[in-house]
Amino acid sequence: MSEAPPAGVLTVDLDAIVRNFRLLAERVLPVDCAAVVKADAYGLGLAEVAPALARAECRSFFVAQLAEGVALRKILRRAKSNATIYVLGGLMENERALFEANALVPCLNDLGQLEHWATFCRARGQPLPCALQIDTGMNRLGFPAADLDRLAAEPKRLVGVDLCLILSHLACSDEADHPMNRRQLGRFRAALDRLPHCRASLAASSGMFLGREFLFNTVRAGVALYGGNPTPNAPNPMEQVVQLQGKILQVRDVDRGETVGYGATHRFTRPCRIATVGVGYADGFLRSLSNRGSAAIGGVTAPIVGRVSMDLLTLDVSAAPPELVRPGAMVELIGPNRGIDDVAAEAGTIPYEILTALGPRYERRYTGGAASSE
């Protein structure tokens, strides 16, 4: 924002993202591993993350929205990559020219969208690439059963388009034993049987760990690239990518019986030392962490006391090494002692939301990325 010293510093380790990508890509070989970089690469910066992945020979990217695809195409061009970009959100009729101009592959979600694309291809006299997304139970995006029936009965609807991928998305893949996984696998196989032969994709980060029958031809690595645990009930096989530090603005001693923060929701039962840190919910450090989250100072846990406010949070630093508790010192909000899965659990959400909520006021520092050029 300016040369002003920041109140929070977000460090993104691009090499760790690349190592996570390679770990997953090797795990699924010979299946292709694509990278999901929607929502500004899960909040970590599309302009930095995508070139690092492209240099690591990632050949396929997934985004959610057309505008994200347009931005990513520019970024990849600058990085001298001509990787494929899929747009998961589907296609509106008025978006077709922009898809073509930016060489984006729409994931068509119903017969109407397919018809829009086929008409466009015929008018252009060119079979432009597209994917078909099949709904297998998520009920969010993708061909409904009735549309699939009609398409299976009338395969000529695909004439003129270049169908390059058929995909679907699992609703419960983070729970390996959930019956929904096998049910969706069965439905996806049945759909593939009724459609022209084509490359297929079902698994995202967690789906990759459900067994090889879930892998098909392409997997879509998302949260795992960014350090999220794709196997929430087992140790995290991924490397942490993000560190978030917040600056101590003030330190004070409080007496037994005093309260802290809005609503006076925390009352001290003994004399304590507290530190006020310049990070709040306007920085995406969710207000649900009030009285539940914590920071680490020299490896010691410092619990959040009172409510997280817009620009500030307060920590009980009584147990922290006193020499590290001074105005201007940085505390660890996310890092080696405070993984994004830990923070998410304390906030009552998932690590995805911790990442995408990371706010605009942090100074963002990127490490690595370039060294992974070949």
How many whole angstroms separate alpha carbon 270 and alpha carbon 208? 49
Smallest separation (angstroms) from a second copy to the CB of 303: 15
Site for a second copy in 63-92 (CB under 8 A): 64-71, 88-90, 92
Smallest separation (angstroms) from a second copy to the CB of 373: 28
Out of 149, 250, 256, 322, point to the residue binding a second copy (CB under 8 A). 250
Residue in the block written with tokens 């459900």: 210
Which of residues 31 and 345 has its CB atom nearest to a second copy in the complex?
345
Which of residues 145 and 319 has its CB atom nearest to a second copy in the complex?
145
Helical packing angle, 46-55 and 66-78, nearest 10°: 50
Asked about 262 being catalytic, the answer comes back as yes
Site for a second copy in 319-338 (CB under 8 A): 327-328
Smallest separation (angstroms) from a second copy to the CB of 249: 5
Which of residues 129 and 261 has its CB atom nearest to a second copy in the complex?
261
Site for a second copy in 11-50 (CB under 8 A): 38-40, 42-43
Out of 254, 289, 315, 333, point to the residue binding a second copy (CB under 8 A). 254
DSSP state, residue 299? T
Q: Which residues pair with 247 in a beta bridge?
A: 330
Out of 226, 244, 353, 366, point to the residue binding a second copy (CB under 8 A). 353
| Phi, psi of 19, rounded to the nearest 5 degrees | -65, -40
Which of residues 102 and 236 has its CB atom nearest to a second copy in the complex?
102
Binding of residue 103 to a second copy (CB under 8 A): no
Smallest separation (angstroms) from a second copy to the CB of 370: 25
Which of residues 71 and 164 has its CB atom nearest to a second copy in the complex?
71
How many whole angstroms separate alpha carbon 189 and alpha carbon 187? 5
Which residues of the chain form beta strands (DSSP E)? 8-13, 32-36, 60-63, 84-87, 104-108, 129-133, 162-167, 200-201, 218-221, 242-254, 259-260, 266-267, 272-277, 294-297, 300-303, 313-316, 330-334, 363-367
Helical packing angle, 14-28 and 46-55, nearest 10°: 50
Smallest separation (angstroms) from a second copy to the CB of 304: 12
Task: Sort residue 75 into left (φ over 0), alpha (ψ -120 to 50) or beta.
Answer: alpha
Closest of 283, 336, 281 to residue 309, by C-alpha: 281
Binding of residue 230 to a second copy (CB under 8 A): no
Closest of 355, 339, 283, 279 to residue 43, by C-alpha: 355
Which of residues 30 and 328 has its CB atom nearest to a second copy in the complex?
328
Binding of residue 310 to a second copy (CB under 8 A): yes
How many whole angstroms separate alpha carbon 24 and alpha carbon 49? 16
How many whole angstroms separate alpha carbon 363 and alpha carbon 12? 11
Out of 182, 189, 361, 364, point to the residue binding a second copy (CB under 8 A). 361
Asked about 38 being catalytic, the answer comes back as yes
Site for a second copy in 188-227 (CB under 8 A): none
Binding of residue 352 to a second copy (CB under 8 A): yes
Binding of residue 176 to a second copy (CB under 8 A): no
Positions marked catalytic: 38, 262
